[in-house]
Amino acid sequence: MRNKLLKYTLLVAVIAFAGYKSVYFKKLSNIKQTAAGQFDAKSFAKKIWTDQLPAKLDSAIELAQLLDSIKTDPDAAFKKYSNAMAIGNYRYSLVKVTGMVTGVYEDYIELQITNGLSKINVATEFIYGNAIRDASKLFDVKDFTNSTDLSNISEALNGIVKQEILPSFKTAVKKGSKIAVIAAVEINMAHINLNNLELIPVQIKILP
């Protein structure tokens, strides 16, 4: 009887040990992360671009109006017409402008504004940074759990411009072309320099 009991005990122990080894333990937080999936910045940015950004483009301020406002009352102008998600001196605005192309270069085009402002550059190659994201005013840092997601959104928005907006434009544009552009512009409100502005295009087209 004692031998049978010992054999039974050993058998139960072996079964229990085998069952333990077959179970895959994982932290609950990791399971949730896997189940939920990583944040898809590209899909998120594309949806914002399609569903919400067009209305923002329609309300973009004329570049000349923005510059006049800054010259008149910088504090009020930056408060009303600019935005930034990070603390610092750099502010971003969504502007619109028409003009004539006076130079086509590898990385940018030079644009003479029709109202007589100094020439400005429109980037056509190096589209980077947070200008589009911040100028749109469509994102709130409180809605995101980490800065990486916000950086990835900026990258995704820039990618749309580089891959979908600029290729056909760059093929067709030439010196003398009249264009209309809606763009994000970065201005340092602590060291204001309105003579060397570079626009990051969001919408750009050649006019008849």
Provide the whole-model pTM.
0.80
pLDDT digits (tens, 9 = 90+) for 145-203: 889 999 999 999 999 999 999 999 999 999 999 999 999 999 999 999 998 899 999 99
Residue pair 121/195 in contact (Cβ under 8 Å)? The answer is: no
Q: Which CATH number among 2.40.50.420, 1.10.3230.20, 1.10.10.10, 3.90.1150.10 corresponds to the domain 39-206?
A: 2.40.50.420
Q: Return the domain boundaries, the chain.
A: 39-206
Question: Which own/partner contact pairs does 41-48 have at CB distance under 8 Å and 24+ positions apart?
Answer: 41/149, 41/152, 41/153, 41/155, 41/156, 42/156, 42/159, 44/153, 44/156, 45/153, 45/156, 45/157, 45/159, 45/160, 46/156, 46/160, 48/136, 48/138, 48/157
How much is the average pLDDT of 74-89? 95
Question: Given this model, what pLDDT does residue 70 score?
Answer: 96
Q: Per-residue pLDDT for 81 more than 80?
A: yes
Greater confidence (32 vs 97) lies with 97
Question: Given this model, what pLDDT does residue 202 score?
Answer: 98
Using DSSP, state whether 112 is helix, strand or coil.
strand
pLDDT digits (tens, 9 = 90+) for 103-116: 999 999 999 986 65
pLDDT digits (tens, 9 = 90+) for 125-134: 999 999 999 9
Question: Given this model, what pLDDT does residue 183 score?
Answer: 98
Q: Per-residue pLDDT for 28 more than 50?
A: no
How much is the average pLDDT of 27-38? 42
12 CB-side CA count, 13 A:
6
